[in-house]
Amino acid sequence: MTEPSATDRLPDLDPDRAAELLERGEAVLIDVREPQEWAAGHAPQAEHLPLGRLTPDAVPQDRPVIAVCRSGNRSGKAADALAAAGVRVHNLAGGMAAWARAGLPVVTDDGTPGTVA
């Protein structure tokens, strides 16, 4: 048996394509950042699941997952691990930094504007 690789996961998505899939309900966004990063700001439709608690059983299986972190590095590792376990998963290229640069919303838990930490 061969070792899993990034090729086992779905293609990375740019923020606009990810937002399109999320808006249509065709994917779920999982934010793998630490609690303080999440608290500073996240995508409104994201679910928070820090990387240290991420398991294949913890993510929805009914549609593809889009993993996101601040820059795309940690979420890339998360996507590789999930893909190796058979989860259909994309990485958000450039992470929340790219999401914010694309003009997409970043909010805090109470819905007020947030920042990418």
Of 13, 65, 69, 79, which one is the catalytic site residue?
Answer: 69
**What is the pLDDT, as a whole number, of residue 8?**
81
End-to-end CA distance of the chain: 39
Domains of the chain: 28-101 (3.40.250.10)
- Whether 81 is catalytic: no
- The pLDDT profile of the chain, 117 residues, written as one tens digit per residue, is 444 455 589 999 999 999 999 999 999 999 999 999 999 999 999 999 999 999 999 999 999 999 999 999 999 999 999 999 999 999 999 999 999 999 999 999 999 999 999
CA–CA separation, 67 and 89 (whole Å): 7
Closest CA to 70 of 37, 40, 111, 101: 37
